[in-house]
Amino acid sequence: MHQYHTPKKSWINIDSNSDFSLANLPYGVFSIPGTNPRVGVAVGQHILDLAALFNLGFFADLGLDKNPFASHNLNEFMALGRPVWTKTRQGLLNLLDAQNPELSQKTEIHPQVLIPQADAQMLMPVQVPNYTDFYSSQEHATNVGKMFRPDGEPLLPNWKHIPVGYHGRASSILVSGTPIRRPWGQLLPPDANTPVFAPCRLLDFELEMAFVVGKPNPLGDPISVNHAEDHMFGMVIFNDWSARDIQKWEYVPLGPFLAKNFASSISPWVVTLDALQPFRCPAPQQDLEPLPYLKESDRHTFDINLSVSILPQNGEEGQVCQSNFKYLYWTMAQQLAHHTVNGCNTQVGDMYASGTISGKEQSSFGSMLELSWKGSRKVTLPGGQERTFIQDGDTVIMRAFALKDGLRIGFGEVRSIVLPAHPKNA
Selecting among 140, 231, 338, 339, the annotated active-site residue is 140
CB neighbourhood size of 320 (10 A)? 21
Residues 260, 245 contacting (CB under 8 angstroms): no
> Residue 260: which of 237, 238, 239, 242 has the closest Cα?
242
Please state, in angstroms and rounded to a whole number, the distance separating the CA atoms of residues 280 and 158.
28
Give catalytic status of residue 140 as yes or no. yes
> Measured between alpha carbons, how far is 116 from 113 in angstroms, rounded to an integer?
10
Cα 223 to Cα 40, 220, 236, 294, distances in angstroms: 30, 10, 22, 11
What one-character-per-residue DSSP string does 201-216 give?
Answer: SSEE-BEEEEEEE-S-
Alpha-carbon distances of 311 from 66, 208, 392, rounded to whole Å: 44, 19, 11
The number of C-alpha atoms within 13 Å of 217 and in the hemisphere containing its C-beta is: 22
Calpha distance 256→168 (Å, rounded): 9
Residues 123, 43, 410: CA angle, nearest 5 degrees: 75
**CB 351 within 8 Å of CB 170:** yes
| Nearest CA among 311, 322, 287, 318 for reference residue 401 | 322
Identify each DSSP E strand in 298-406 by its residue range: 300-302, 305-311, 318-324, 351-353, 379-380, 386-387, 395-404
Q: How far is 210 from 354, CA to CA, in rounded Å?
A: 6
Distance CA 164, CA 209 (A): 16
Report CA torsion sign: 19, 17, 206, 37. Answer: negative
Q: Is 37 helix (H, G, I), strand (E, B) or coil?
A: coil
Taking the chain, what is the end-to-end CA distance rounded to the nearest angstrom?
Answer: 54
3-state class (DSSP) for residue 390? coil
Which residues are catalytic, by number?
140
